[in-house]
Amino acid sequence: MTTVDELEWFVVLAETEHMTEAAQRLSLAQPTLSRALARLERRVGAPLFDRVHRRLRLNPYGAIMLEHARRGLAELAAAEERISTLRDPDRGTIRLAFLHSIAAGVTPAILRAYRADVPEVRFDLTQAAGHEIVEHLLAGRADLGLTAPRPDGDELAWTGLYREQLCLAVPDGHRLAGRARVALAEAGDDPFVTLREPIGLRRLTDELCARAGLHPRVAFESTEIGTLEGFVAAGLGVAVVPEPRPERAEPGVAYLPLTDDSAHRMIGLARLRDQPLPPVAERFAGFVTAWFGERATGP
C-alpha cells in the first residue's frame, strides 16, 4: 500500500526530476527514495519517469500520478484541518436545532451572547418542531437541540433550562379577556385553534384539556404558534400558548395564565446520551446551561 509519505516523496521527485536533489530536500537517503519510487511504480503497473542520461523525466503516466497525488494530499490536509477545527472548542461548527416558538427571542439571544465570547465559532441552525428535533439528534444531523417537552425514551439526555407559563389566548373583547387568571374549563364552549399532532405543545394542550374534562372543538390546526395567535386575534377561537414577552405579544390578543399547576412547559437542551460531543459543542452546551442558570438566580 502506498503511504502518505511516499506520495509526498513522489511529488517532490516529480517537481525536481532529480533523485539526489529530491533526497536532499526530503532529508532521505537516496536508496530509500529510489526503493519507494520502485514500489510505487510496481503498484501502478507502469514507469512514472523516463530515465534519460541518468536523469528523470516525468512521463504521461507520471503526470497522471502527480495530478492525483497532489489532489489526494490536498484533500488529506483539508480533512486534518477540519478535524483540528472540530476538536478546538473556540472554533468549528455547532449544529443546533431549536423550536419554532423560541426562534425570535431566546435562540438569537443565546447565540449573540455566545459569539461575544467565542467570535470564531460557526452555527449550523435548524428550526423545527420538537419531534423533528429528536429525529435530527438521533440521525446525527444535530449536536444539540433546544426543545420541549422532555423527549421520550432513553436515547437522549435532556437538561431543563427554563419554564414557560402556559396561557389561554383569547381575542380582545372575549368574555374572559379581563381576567388575571383563568381555569381552562371556562373555555369549554369556545372553538380551539391548536397545533397539529405530534407537536409537543399540542400534546400538552390535549393533556390539560383532558385534566379539565374538556373535549374541545378544534376549528383549525397549524404548525406554528404565531399562526394560532393571529387566528385568535381574528376571532376564530382560543388557544393554549406560552406566555409571550411583552414585545412579542400579538395585538388584539389577551393572554390569561392558566390556573392548573401543570400549565407550563419546560424548555431544555437535548443531546445523545451515550455519544460524546465535539469539544466546540460541549463548550456551547455548558455555556447555555450556565446562561439560563444565571438568569434564574440573578437579581
What span, in angstroms and rounded, lies between the C-alpha atoms of 190 and 177? 13
Q: Which three cell numbers stand for residue 34?
A: 529510489
Digit-coded pLDDT (tens) for 124-158: 999 999 999 999 999 999 999 999 989 988 999 99
Q: Give pLDDT, residue 55.
A: 83
Environment class of residue 13 by beta-carbon count within 10 Å: exposed (0-12), middle (13-18) or buried (19+)? buried
CATH architecture classification, 4-87: Orthogonal Bundle (1.10)
Q: Is the whole-model pTM more than 0.85?
A: no
Range scoring the smallest mean pLDDT among 15-29, 71-85, 127-141, 216-230? 71-85
- Please give the mean pLDDT across all residues of the chain: 90
Same CATH fold assignment for domains 4-87 and 93-160+266-297: no
* Domain regions of the chain by residue span: 4-87, 93-160+266-297, 163-263
Q: Give pLDDT, residue 86.
A: 67
Q: Which three cell numbers stand for residue 33?
A: 527514495
Q: Name the CATH topology of 163-263.
A: D-Maltodextrin-Binding Protein; domain 2 (3.40.190)
Compute CA distances 45 → 41, 57, 58, 62, 63, whole Å. Answer: 6, 18, 15, 11, 14
Instruction: Say if residue 84's pLDDT is above 80.
Output: no
Digit-coded pLDDT (tens) for 264-288: 999 999 999 988 888 888 999 999 9
Q: Are 253 and 171 in contact (CB under 8 A)?
A: yes
Q: Name the CATH topology of 93-160+266-297.
A: D-Maltodextrin-Binding Protein; domain 2 (3.40.190)
Q: What average pLDDT does the segment 226-232 reach?
A: 95
